[in-house]
Structure 1
Amino acid sequence: MTPRTEFAPGLSIQGITPPLRLRDFKLIAFDMDSTLINIECVDEIADAAGRKAEVAAITEAAMRGEIADYKESLRRRVALLAGVSVEHLEHVYRQRLKLHPGAAELVLACKGAGLKVLLVSGGFTFFTDRLRERLALDFARSNQLEIVDGRLTGRLLDQHWGDICDGAEKRRTLLQACDLIGCTPAQAIAMGDGANDLEMMAAAGLSVAYRAKPKVRQQAHIAIDMGGLDRLLEVVQP
């Protein structure tokens, strides 16, 4: 890619020549934790088990790309959640989870330009299902926590597509969505913040890093370091 240049304060680009047109794309894929929303859900769930610091340290290392096996890192974190109640998950969703600024506005702009919207996450269906309904998203894929008698068991359930939504699965999901709607990966936008987003970002025609880890920021076409998600519309015009 060409060297990164500052497009506007807190907004930089590389390898693209703006302005781009939103209507030239057909799909936008969002990561959830720390991209579409303000928290890492697994860390907030761990708070109820008194293990937040321990879990958050693993999450940070995984997002920075310092842990090679994302699946194993997630299994380790989920095991530490055993015994947490569904009521605490509800509390996390109602009281701690917030959309990042500009999230709803960007989704509406994309839908208005005819794009389909995918939420693909290494997080959990408990949250992605609610966000899919709340924002009227077209597709969502994430991991399913096992719940027995109203409490987490510390395990994940296999789903029809596989076991864990890691970086490779995010890429595969983006490509499947492209096939489903009849577009090429070059017509897709992928937005994320962590190392497990890099594979889908590399597969998409346009990659966007939002308040991202250094490794992700370095590789993205667009890096948004200040302001809301809808700053993408400064580069990719509706």
Structure 2
Amino acid sequence: MRQVLTLIANPAAPALDDATAKAARAALTELGAETAPADWLAPSLACDIGFDGLNEDQAQAAVARALAGRPVDIVAQAVEGRRKSVLVADMESTIIQQEMLDELGDLIGARERIATITARAMNGEIGFKGALRERVALLAGLDAGVLTQMIGRVTYMPGAATLIATLRRHGVYCALVSGGFKTFTAHVRETLGFDEDQANDLILADGKLAGTVVEPILDKDAKHQALIRITAARRVPVAASITVGDGANDLPMLMAAGIGVAYHAKPSVAAQARARIDHGDLTALLYIQGYRASEITVA
């Protein structure tokens, strides 16, 4: 079979069974596709259904209708080139659970105000650069030491450590590219084992936050360019990459990659991304690439 549809459940609440897989296969067959029996990548968590003779978007939509209401993610793609050699990941609300500017806002009693701006920027309602400058300006005068203190608030998305450990074990180059700040990306890179990180730098003056950011600001275009740079440096085509993110500033790199995954994303992002994970954790990116349970390094 030249194409494959993958069904993925959340490991915290496995909800994938033979009946669900058969319903998905039947939906493909009804549209005239030639299909193969379910191939289980991980019991109760993920399975592949090979198919031919159907547009991948059509296949994905048909199965989504057939499985409506079930907590299962659905990704259809070509089999050839399915496994990628480069991962480029957003950090905040993707690899980690926090938006670190929102956390910093706690220190000045402006968390709600900053979080509102963050949400609007991530949903594409306002420009990222302006939103970043506006939020950072509110932090002017804070002692620079708060950045190190805030590292203690970082918690990781379920599956993040396993995702990176598995990809690194299989020789995949993993890059963390964030519109956030270098203090936090450096910590996450070192903790999880990313190969590199790229982010914005806050300007300090006399040991305090100046309320400004080093220009140019790393935004959606810079993330896209990072993807191009990284794949070129690795001497692989962009098609050999997988990207993951949740916000509007991730869209260009999600759309450009071999497969871009909107992970528990903002509505405007999920609607446009080629693949979306609404139910599973970050190990879903492994199943999308066809990794089996026996190949996954649990971390």
Q: TM-score normalized by structure 2?
A: 0.72
Q: Output one character per residue of 1:32-89: Cα deviation in whole Å (capped at 9) or x when no partner.
A: 010000010111111101111111111000001101x211111111101112223322
How far has the Cα of 1:26 moved from its partner? Answer: 1.4
- Aligned-partner residue type, residue 73 of structure 2: L
Cross-structure match for 2:104? 45
1:197 aligns with 2:250: yes
Hey, what's the Cα distance between the residues in 1 that align with 2:162 and 2:290?
A: 13
Hey, what's the Cα distance between the residues in 2 that align with 1:52 and 1:85?
A: 17
How far has the Cα of 1:149 moved from its partner? Answer: 2.9
- Aligned-partner residue type, residue 133 of structure 2: R
- Aligned-partner residue type, residue 174 of structure 2: V
Hey, what's the Cα distance between the residues in 1 that align with 2:183 and 2:253?
A: 22
Cross-structure match for 1:142? 199
The answer to whether the 8 Å contact 2:255/2:274 transfers is no
Q: Output one character per residue of 1:141-176: Cα deviation in whole Å (capped at 9) or x when no partner.
A: 110011223321101123xxxx11100000001100
Cross-structure match for 1:34? 93
Cross-structure match for 1:130? 187
Hey, what's the Cα distance between the residues in 2 that align with 1:114 and 1:219?
A: 30
What runs of 5+ residues in structure 2 fail to find an aligned partner? 1-56, 292-299
Hey, what's the Cα distance between the residues in 1 that align with 2:193 and 2:236?
A: 21
Cross-structure match for 2:218? 165
Give matches, 1:68-147, under 5 Å. 69-94=127-152, 96-147=153-204
- Aligned-partner residue type, residue 119 of structure 2: E
Q: Output one character per residue of 1:88-115: Cα deviation in whole Å (capped at 9) or x when no partner.
A: 2222211x21110100100111112211
The answer to whether the 8 Å contact 1:49/1:83 transfers is no
Hey, what's the Cα distance between the residues in 2 that align with 1:105 and 1:20?
A: 22
Give the count of matched residue pairs: 229
Hey, what's the Cα distance between the residues in 2 that align with 1:226 and 1:19?
A: 26
Cross-structure match for 1:13? 75
What runs of 5+ residues in structure 1 fail to find an aligned partner? none
Cross-structure match for 2:36? none
- Aligned-partner residue type, residue 43 of structure 1: D
Q: Rate the CA distance shift 1:36–1:9 in 2: closer, same or farther, 3 A.
A: same
Cross-structure match for 2:115? 56
Hey, what's the Cα distance between the residues in 2 that align with 1:114 and 1:234?
A: 17
The answer to whether the 8 Å contact 2:246/2:269 transfers is yes
Partner SS state of residue 77, structure 1 = helix
Hey, what's the Cα distance between the residues in 1 that align with 2:145 and 2:115?
A: 21
Identity within the alignment, %: 38
- Aligned-partner residue type, residue 85 of structure 1: D
- Aligned-partner residue type, residue 41 of structure 1: M
- Aligned-partner residue type, residue 71 of structure 1: K
Hey, what's the Cα distance between the residues in 2 that align with 1:84 and 1:37?
A: 23
Hey, what's the Cα distance between the residues in 2 that align with 1:123 and 1:111?
A: 24
How far has the Cα of 1:18 moved from its partner? Answer: 6.2
Cross-structure match for 1:209? 262
Hey, what's the Cα distance between the residues in 1 that align with 2:81 and 2:282?
A: 16
How far has the Cα of 1:17 moved from its partner? Answer: 4.6
Which residue of 240, 256, 276 corresponds with 1:187? 240
Hey, what's the Cα distance between the residues in 2 that align with 1:226 and 1:93?
A: 27
Cross-structure match for 2:213? 156
How far has the Cα of 1:136 moved from its partner? Answer: 2.2
Which residue of 196, 220, 224 corresponds with 2:273? 220
How far has the Cα of 1:217 moved from its partner? Answer: 1.1
Q: TM-score normalized by structure 1?
A: 0.90
174-183 vs 48-57, greater mean Cα deviation: 48-57
Q: Which has the higher helix share?
A: 1
